[in-house]
A = this chain, B = another copy of it.
């Protein structure tokens, strides 16, 4: 009773499933179809090869059809595209892309792991030899070829998501002046606007021309010299052609560029599934059960192409990331062998390197919570990645979202040059475990001066959140302090030299926290004192003094640092 398993797509989810299926059964027949030339390649590594961090292209190729056959006895067929599914017969039709022939294979179980494709909007002139997406090794090779042959001095990247940011950095790293266009008012959508400010500041400090709130509206391709002749039979499309692009932007400006990368997002590859009548979800991905089955119990689907359920809301979501794809692939194979594994939902944990900065998030952000109508409160802390007296400490800027009544963790975001992955991982685990901010106070994390602090960022954020929940502090947030009434007074409790050096909020008076007890009578009792310091800690000390002395007050959570970077 050996099973025959067909797998469509040989990268993250498909390769995981094939390897797992073989470990579960020696006698299953496993065939993996890949329409491209490569299986199991490091798609997340492509921008880093372009930027030179990964000098050796062969390091991106993790498995070959031969190595996969030797280790897992899987029949890997590259350049073979599954073009249709006959569900009644339980067979697929496959097209050999080398010779154009077609054939059919039967299955007991079919796994769809077709991934996602780049969204390329219908912008006039976008189809030209200097415009690229980056999804696979041939895309990468074409970009490298353009850089090599077109003497690229200026690159334009459209889209401030992961691939866009990584390509921006890659270009910058190899000495190409770069413009990053983003339609939204921020890059890195998983974090909220004010946390993206840290990324904006870093990007601009590196000399990249970052343009937010701007779309690409038209492209004019101006060829200069043709390196390949038409006579040789090559088409103009993706040839090695010199030239430049004149880009028209939505604000009426224009831009001359030598290469254009379109990285505005990806779209699930669902054609094969929908042609076969499999259910497609409302978000446009292949609908799946918690067992990773499609609407046909013999057909599983995993990875970028599917809708899975969101860990926080329980609703359907699409999260095209490698981690979920790998886990889903393994799980689908388990379930083909009656293992009854269930997918536990996606939090959307994500991280991006932006030059020296890491920006990361897990769970829901504020934008999403508002959209979902979920009540939330939030705190910001900025605190050292490890003991500040030990070399190499960097500020971790951290935002935590939670339910104000229960303290349930809703999401977390962080930006900084050290320890960002660690803090978001801690939050991802805590959220998945159903912990509350009260419990986060008690976390006992590794501490020695090179690695952490006796009171870690997370403990600190939990203390602030619990202070909020218990009414020990009345918060005010960064977006409210520019609109104070005449019943409020803005009080900066930092030292005067800090105001000079890093700036201050217009209209603030200054009494350093350590002088406040002596000078408290300078403050009016009939106004609300809006206290702030650099990060919120001294502000809290001052706030408690004021409250315990009968003043009305509130404290700017996250202090001047949150306020300032929110505008970046």
The verdict on A176 contacting chain B, using a C-beta distance below 8 Å, is no
Partner of A48, one of B22, B390, B451, B517: B390
Task: Using A26-B549, A322-B454, A545-B26 as known contacts, say yes or no to A428 and B448 having CB atoms under 8 A apart.
Answer: no
In the complex, what's the smallest C-beta–C-beta distance from A512 to chain B, in angstroms? 9
Task: Using A23-B540, A444-B323 as known contacts, say yes or no to A71 and B454 having CB atoms under 8 A apart.
Answer: no
Flag if B346 contacts A514 (CB, 8 Å).
no
Flag if B514 contacts A67 (CB, 8 Å).
yes
Partner of A446, one of B346, B428, B548: B428
Partner of A445, one of B323, B325, B389, B444: B323
Query: Which of chain B's residues have a CB closer than 8 A to the CB of A60?
Result: 389
Query: Which of chain B's residues have a CB closer than 8 A to the CB of A452?
Result: 351, 421, 425
The verdict on A455 contacting chain B, using a C-beta distance below 8 Å, is yes
Partner of A430, one of B48, B62, B429, B548: B429
The verdict on A353 contacting chain B, using a C-beta distance below 8 Å, is yes
Flag if A429 contacts B433 (CB, 8 Å).
yes
A48 to B449, CA, bound (A): 9
In the complex, what's the smallest C-beta–C-beta distance from A302 to chain B, in angstroms? 13
Give A411-462 interface residues, CB cut-off 8 Å to B.
420-422, 424-426, 428-430, 432-435, 439, 441-452, 454-456, 459
Query: Which of chain B's residues have a CB closer than 8 A to the CB of A26?
Result: 544-545, 548-549
Flag if B327 contacts A441 (CB, 8 Å).
yes
Give A321-336 interface residues, CB cut-off 8 Å to B.
321-327, 330
What is the chain B residue whose CB lies nearest that of A513?
Answer: B71
The verdict on A562 contacting chain B, using a C-beta distance below 8 Å, is no
Flag if A430 contacts B428 (CB, 8 Å).
no
Query: Which of chain B's residues have a CB closer than 8 A to the CB of A71?
Result: 513-514, 538, 541
Query: Which of chain B's residues have a CB closer than 8 A to the CB of A358?
Result: 450-451
Give the interface residue-count category, chain A.
35 or more
Query: Which of chain B's residues have a CB closer than 8 A to the CB of A311?
Result: 444
The verdict on A44 contacting chain B, using a C-beta distance below 8 Å, is yes
The verdict on A218 contacting chain B, using a C-beta distance below 8 Å, is no
The verdict on A498 contacting chain B, using a C-beta distance below 8 Å, is no
Flag if A351 contacts B541 (CB, 8 Å).
no
A353 to B448, CA, bound (A): 8
Query: Which of chain B's residues have a CB closer than 8 A to the CB of A463?
Result: 330
Residue of A322, A441, A448, A541 most packed against chain B (CB within 10 A)? A448
Flag if A448 contacts B351 (CB, 8 Å).
yes
Task: Using A389-B59, A549-B26 as known contacts, say yes or no to A446 and B425 having CB atoms under 8 A apart.
Answer: yes
Give A484-504 interface residues, CB cut-off 8 Å to B.
none
Query: Which of chain B's residues have a CB closer than 8 A to the CB of A514?
Result: 67, 70-71
A442 to B311, CA, bound (A): 11
Flag if B449 contacts A42 (CB, 8 Å).
yes
The verdict on A162 contacting chain B, using a C-beta distance below 8 Å, is yes
Task: Using A421-B422, A434-B433 as known contacts, say yes or no to A444 and B44 having CB atoms under 8 A apart.
Answer: no
The verdict on A53 contacting chain B, using a C-beta distance below 8 Å, is yes
The verdict on A349 contacting chain B, using a C-beta distance below 8 Å, is yes
In the complex, what's the smallest C-beta–C-beta distance from A440 to chain B, in angstroms? 9
The verdict on A150 contacting chain B, using a C-beta distance below 8 Å, is no
What is the chain B residue whose CB lies nearest that of A466?
Answer: B341
The verdict on A352 contacting chain B, using a C-beta distance below 8 Å, is yes
Query: Which of chain B's residues have a CB closer than 8 A to the CB of A162?
Result: 448
Query: Which of chain B's residues have a CB closer than 8 A to the CB of A549?
Result: 26
Task: Using A23-B541, A390-B45, A459-B327 as known contacts, say yes or no to A428 and B444 having CB atoms under 8 A apart.
Answer: yes
Query: Which of chain B's residues have a CB closer than 8 A to the CB of A27?
Result: 548
The verdict on A387 contacting chain B, using a C-beta distance below 8 Å, is yes
Task: Using A45-B390, A387-B42, A454-B12 as known contacts, say yes or no to A424 and B446 having CB atoms under 8 A apart.
Answer: yes
The verdict on A344 contacting chain B, using a C-beta distance below 8 Å, is yes
In the complex, what's the smallest C-beta–C-beta distance from A268 to chain B, in angstroms? 18
Flag if B432 contacts A389 (CB, 8 Å).
no
In the complex, what's the smallest C-beta–C-beta distance from A185 to chain B, in angstroms? 23
Flag if B424 contacts A426 (CB, 8 Å).
no
A325 to B459, CA, bound (A): 13
A63 to B489, CA, bound (A): 30
The verdict on A347 contacting chain B, using a C-beta distance below 8 Å, is yes
The verdict on A191 contacting chain B, using a C-beta distance below 8 Å, is no
30 A–B contacts, CB within 8 A, in A order: A23-B540, A25-B548, A27-B548, A42-B389, A45-B387, A53-B390, A54-B390, A71-B538, A322-B454, A323-B444, A323-B456, A326-B454, A330-B463, A343-B442, A344-B442, A348-B444, A349-B445, A351-B451, A353-B448, A353-B451, A358-B451, A421-B422, A425-B425, A425-B446, A426-B429, A429-B433, A429-B435, A432-B439, A432-B442, A433-B433
Given contacts A60-B389, A350-B446, 16 further A-B contacts (CB under 8 A): A26-B548, A53-B391, A54-B389, A54-B390, A71-B513, A71-B538, A322-B454, A327-B441, A351-B452, A425-B446, A425-B452, A426-B426, A428-B446, A429-B429, A429-B435, A432-B439
